Structure 1
Amino acid sequence: MPTIIVINNCTEQMLGQRLNQRQASFAAKAALRNVWLARPGDIVVSTATMPEDFMSYVTRVSSFAAEAGDIAFFRPESDGALSFILQDEYLARPQLIEALRARVTRPEEWSLLACYQTAGTARLQFELGLAKAGGEALGRNFAASMGTNLLNRKSHFRQLAIGCSLPLPDGAIATSANSLLRAVTELLSVTGRVIVKQDNGAGGTGNFILSTSPTGPLPGACACVALPCLRRSDIESELGKLWDEWQAGSPGPMVVEAYHAATAMFYLEFFIAPEGQAHFMNSGTIRVRPHDDPTISELFWVGLELPAHLPPATLAEASMHCSRFLQLAATMGYRGHINIDAIVTENGRLLFNEVNARWGGGTVLHDLGTRLIGPDFTNTHVAASFRDVPSPSFGRLIKLLQESQIAYDPAQQQGIVVLACDDEHSHSFEALVLARSRDGARGLEQRLVEVLESKRAAEG
C-alpha cells in the first residue's frame, strides 16, 4: 500500500512555543533523515528541499529497483522566516490538496503517515478520502480533535501514568508560582535536585533542573539553576522570577519531580495499529556527553543505540508497565507510533519520564536496519546513531566513507550510512552505524572520526 509521508516534525504545536533558529535548523535536518521512511511509489510532503545527490544516495543504499517507481515530493507553499517547518496551515493550502488529489486517484489504496498527528493531518486525510472507516477513522477523528496533544503534554502524561500505575518519580503539577514553590521545597529533600518541565517540549527542551548547589550539565534538561539556600524568602523570590520567565515562553501547567541520577536512559517504541493492538517496534539507549564548548549549559545528545542496553528483567518489567499505558492510549482513540521514555536510577529503580505520541529518534534507525538486514536485526546487530558531526560536504563525506572502506557494505551487513547532511545551515551530518557488536559500532565511529580529522589536517 503506497503511503503519503508527512514530515511535520518540530512544529510549534508539537513544542508548544515559537521556534528559535536553532530549533528550526534541527527540524530541517530531521526532515532529511525522515525521508528514509519512504519507499518507491510513496509521496513525501515536506517544506524542506531534498537534494538530488542525497536522494540518489538513499536509492542506492536502499537498493530500490529502478522499475519500482520514484518517490514523489510535494512541497507546500509556505511563508515566513522559518518556512521549512510544516505547520498545519500549509497542509490546508488548496494547491497542495489539489496536487495530491491528482496523484491519489484511488484513495482506498493509500495510507497517511505523519510524524505528529494533528488537526491538519486529519483534515488532509478527509480531503483526500483516506481513513474513512474502522480504527483508521477513529484515529483520524481523535487527531482532528487534537487528541494527540493529550499524549504529548508532560502534565497529561503524569496524570494518565498515575492512573495506569506506572512507576514515576515523586512529583506534582504546578499551576502557579505558589504551587511551584510548595512542590520544589517539598521535593528538594528527596535527591537534592528537582526537575521542572514545561508542558510541551522535545529532546529536553523546556526542562530545567533546580538545586541548592551549583551543578554541571545533567541529562534530560536544557539548563541547571542553582537556588539560593539561605532563606525561604530568597528561594520564593527566585522561583517567582523563574515562573514568570517560563510562563512567558510557554504558558501552562508545569510538572515538578524529584530528579534522579540514572545508570540507563532508554525508550520503548510501539505502533498502535488500526484495530487498536500495540506492536513492539524497538528499544534504544539514549547517548549523551558534555559539549565540547564549556559555555553550553546542556549535555550534547550524541544519538541513540538500538537495542537498549538493559538487563532482560528490566526490559520485561518496562514492557509490562507500558502495556497498560498503551491499552489506555488505544482506548482513547490514538493510532500510530508512540514512544515511552524511562530511566534506571542508581539504586536500581525503574522510573518513567514521558510519552511521545509521534515518530521517535529511533524510528528511522529501526526502519533502515529492518530494510538492510532484516526484521530481527537487533538479535545480531547494533544500530548506533551519532549526530552534529562537522561535515566536509555531503559529496566529499560519501567519498571518504568509500575510500576508507567504512561505508555500509550489504555483503558484510555492516558499516556507516549517512542519515542526513546539512550543507546549508549547520554544515554537519548525522550517521548510522550498523555493526555486530557495541564494540564494533564504537570502532567504526572512531575510525570515521580519525578519517575526518586526518582530512582536515591534510587541508590545513
Structure 2
Amino acid sequence: MMKQTRDVSGPTLVFANFASDLAVGLEASEVLDHWAKQAPRKMWLLRPGDVLLTPVPLSDAFQRYAAGLLDMPMEAAAVVAVPSLPGVCMAEAVSRAGLMEQVRELVRRRPGISLLPTALDSSSVAFARDLGVPVSPYGMTGPSQQALSITSLLNTKSGFRDVAATLGIRLPAGSICHHADLGPLVEHMVRDHGQVVLKPDRSAGGHGLMFLSAAQPQLPEAAPGLDGMWVVEERLDVAHSVSIQLCTTPRGTTAVYSGEMRTRDGSFTGYEAPLRGRAGTAAGELEHWGTKIGDYLARHGYAGPFSLDAVVTQDGTLFANESNVRRTATTTPHAMVTRLARTAGVDAPAWLLASRGSAKAHTFAQAVQRLEDCELAWTAERGEGVVFYADGPADGRSWRYAVISTSSDRLATLERRLAQTMTFEP
C-alpha cells in the first residue's frame, strides 16, 4: 500500500479545525472540545517552514520531544494556539481571538503556502480564500460546491447508506427517521431483529450511539446535535471492527493502510495495523468497497483522504458502517509512523494506537524518561518503540500512545511492557 504522509510538498498551514460541522453539529461543543484535545498530534505533520493553527496549546516539552524525534529544530515551524469558542467554527475563532493579522504575516513570509484542513468544510475554504492561499490539494480555484456537498453528505450515516446501496456495498438492515419518529421504528426493528443500533445521522467516534432491545427499550432524549435524523440498524454479531484509509484524485483511488479498530461500547479507542488473522481475510473486499467510494467521490469533485469503516461478523461476513471524508483519528498518527519508520529503514511497519490510564500521575518528561530507562522509547536504531503522540494529558494519567515495530507479533510484547512501565490500570 502507498505510504503517504501529507498531500503537498511546499509550506503548509496545518489547520486543525476540529470545530467544524462536518462530523457533528457545532452545537455539540463538549464533543468537539473533547476531540480537540488530540490536536497536538498535528505536530507530527510539520516540516521546517510550516505553520500549525491548533485549538489546544502544545506544551514546550511535547514540542521539544516531537521535534527531536523528527530531527527538526523546534523553532523551524510556527505554532499558533486559537482559543475555541462554543458553537463557533475554528475560522471564526481565529478572527474573534484577534489572530488574523498574525496569521496573515506568517503566510506572507511563506510564499507558496497552502491550507491543509482537518475537515474540508465551507468555513475552511472561505478562510483560505480570505488569506489568499490554496486549499490542498485543490489549488487556487479551491474545491467546487459539488465537492463540498458530497463531502458533507458522505459524513452522514444516511448519505453513506444511500450511496453505498447504489454502489452495491453490503449494509446492515436499517432505516432512517427523525428523532420524533424513533419510537415506532425502533419497536418495529426490535421485533424483526431482536437488537438494534441507534446512530445520530451526523456523528463520529461513537458519539450518541446506543444499543437497544426489548429488554432495554430506552430511547435517546433530544439534545443538541441529537435531535435531528437518526439511523436505526440491526445489531450484528461483530467479531472485528475494521477500517481502511484511502486517498482519491482525478487519477484514481489508492489504498493507504488498513487495520482493526479497538472499540468500547461502539466508541473508537484505538487501532492496530496492518490487518491480520481473521480480520485480514476481509482486506480485499474492504479495499474494493473503499475504491468504489473513492471513485464516486472523485466523480463529484472531491480529492484527498477518506476512510471506510466496517465490521466482520462471527460468520466472516463484511458489512460497511460509514465513511469519514476527512482526516481521521488515524491519519496523522500514520503519517508519524511512516516518517519515523523511514528513518529506521523500515518500509512496512506494524503499529498500534491506544489510550490507557496510569495508576499514578506523571509529567510528560517523567513519562518519556520511564520509556527511555526501560528501553521502550522509539529509536531509529532499534526500529521499534513507543511514542506519546498527543502531548501529556492534563490529569497526568490519560496517555495516548503509539507502538511501532517491524512485525505485528512484537506489538503485543511492547504494549505489555509499556503497561507495566506506566502502571496502566486494567
How would you bin the TM-score normalised by the shorter chain? 0.7 to 0.9
5, 13, 33: which is aligned to 1:4?
13
Residue 230 of structure 1 corresponds to: none
How many Å separate the matches in 2 of 1:266 and 1:447? 26
| 2:176 equivalent to 1:173 | yes
How many Å separate the matches in 1 of 2:136 and 2:198? 41
Equivalent residues in 2 for 1:226-245, closer than 5 Å: 226-227=216-217, 242=219, 245=221
Deviation at 1:419, TM superposition (A): 0.7
How many Å separate the matches in 2 of 1:168 and 1:375? 41
Deviation at 1:154, TM superposition (A): 1.2
**Larger relative contact order (CA 8 Å, sep ≥ 6):** 2
Equivalent residues in 2 for 1:216-227, closer than 5 Å: 226-227=216-217
SS in structure 2 of the partner of residue 140 of structure 1: coil
How many Å separate the matches in 1 of 2:344 and 2:126? 36
| 2:63 equivalent to 1:55 | yes
Deviation at 1:344, TM superposition (A): 0.8
How many Å separate the matches in 1 of 2:260 and 2:267? 15
Deviating more after overlay: 363-372 vs 106-115: 106-115
230, 247, 253: which is aligned to 2:229?
253
Residue 208 of structure 1 corresponds to: 210
Deviation at 1:88, TM superposition (A): 3.4
| Structure 2 residue runs without a partner (length 5+) | 1-9
279, 304, 307: which is aligned to 2:274?
307
The letter of the residue matching 1:252 is G
Residue 399 of structure 2 corresponds to: 429
SS in structure 1 of the partner of residue 38 of structure 2: helix
Residue 152 of structure 2 corresponds to: 149
Q: Is the 8 A contact 1:393 1:421 kept in 2?
A: no
SS in structure 1 of the partner of residue 255 of structure 2: strand
Distance 1:181 1:276, change over 3 A: farther
Deviating more after overlay: 191-200 vs 420-429: 420-429
Deviating more after overlay: 154-163 vs 88-97: 88-97
Q: Is the 8 A contact 1:97 1:127 kept in 2?
A: no
SS in structure 2 of the partner of residue 173 of structure 1: strand
How many Å separate the matches in 1 of 2:142 and 2:20? 20
CA-to-partner distance for each residue in 1:265-315, whole Å, 9 max, x for gaps? 111111234x463232111211135xxxxxxxx467441111123565521
Q: Is the 8 A contact 2:247 2:294 kept in 1?
A: no
How many Å separate the matches in 1 of 2:346 and 2:106? 37
How many Å separate the matches in 1 of 2:22 and 2:383? 39
Residue 408 of structure 1 corresponds to: 378
Residue 414 of structure 2 corresponds to: 444
Aligned residues: 413
Deviation at 1:188, TM superposition (A): 2.7
Q: Is the 8 A contact 1:25 1:425 kept in 2?
A: no
Distance 1:145 1:411, change over 3 A: closer
The letter of the residue matching 2:120 is Q
The letter of the residue matching 1:123 is A
SS in structure 1 of the partner of residue 246 of structure 2: strand
SS in structure 2 of the partner of residue 55 of structure 1: helix
How many Å separate the matches in 1 of 2:369 and 2:99? 37
Distance 1:144 1:127, change over 3 A: farther
* Percent of paired sites with the same residue: 25
How many Å separate the matches in 2 of 1:134 and 1:287? 31
SS in structure 1 of the partner of residue 259 of structure 2: strand
| 2:253 equivalent to 1:282 | no
Residue 39 of structure 2 corresponds to: 31
199, 202, 205: which is aligned to 2:201?
199
Distance 1:92 1:367, change over 3 A: same
95, 110, 114: which is aligned to 2:113?
110
Deviation at 1:192, TM superposition (A): 1.9
How many Å separate the matches in 1 of 2:395 and 2:131? 34
Q: TM-score, normalised by structure 2?
A: 0.86
366, 382, 392: which is aligned to 2:350?
382
Q: Which of structures 1 and 2 has the bigger CA Rg?
A: 1
Residue 363 of structure 1 corresponds to: 331
How many Å separate the matches in 2 of 1:370 and 1:346? 32
SS in structure 2 of the partner of residue 195 of structure 1: strand
RMSD of the alignment, in Å? 3.1
How many Å separate the matches in 1 of 2:89 and 2:336? 24
CA-to-partner distance for each residue in 1:100-146, whole Å, 9 max, x for gaps? 33232387722211111122210121122223899445653338956
How many Å separate the matches in 1 of 2:344 and 2:175? 40
| 2:405 equivalent to 1:397 | no
SS in structure 2 of the partner of residue 448 of structure 1: helix
162, 165, 183: which is aligned to 2:165?
162
Q: TM-score, normalised by structure 1?
A: 0.80
SS in structure 2 of the partner of residue 131 of structure 1: coil
| Structure 1 residue runs without a partner (length 5+) | 214-225, 228-237, 290-297
The letter of the residue matching 1:121 is S
Deviating more after overlay: 312-321 vs 376-385: 376-385
Deviation at 1:24, TM superposition (A): 5.2
How many Å separate the matches in 2 of 1:142 and 1:360? 22
SS in structure 2 of the partner of residue 419 of structure 1: coil
Deviating more after overlay: 142-151 vs 123-132: 142-151
Distance 1:285 1:357, change over 3 A: same
Deviation at 1:380, TM superposition (A): 4.4
CA-to-partner distance for each residue in 1:11-43, whole Å, 9 max, x for gaps? 45532253465x355334311122212222111
SS in structure 1 of the partner of residue 366 of structure 2: helix
How many Å separate the matches in 2 of 1:360 and 1:79? 20
Deviating more after overlay: 384-393 vs 345-354: 384-393
Residue 340 of structure 2 corresponds to: 372
Residue 242 of structure 2 corresponds to: 266
Residue 80 of structure 2 corresponds to: 74
Deviation at 1:69, TM superposition (A): 6.4
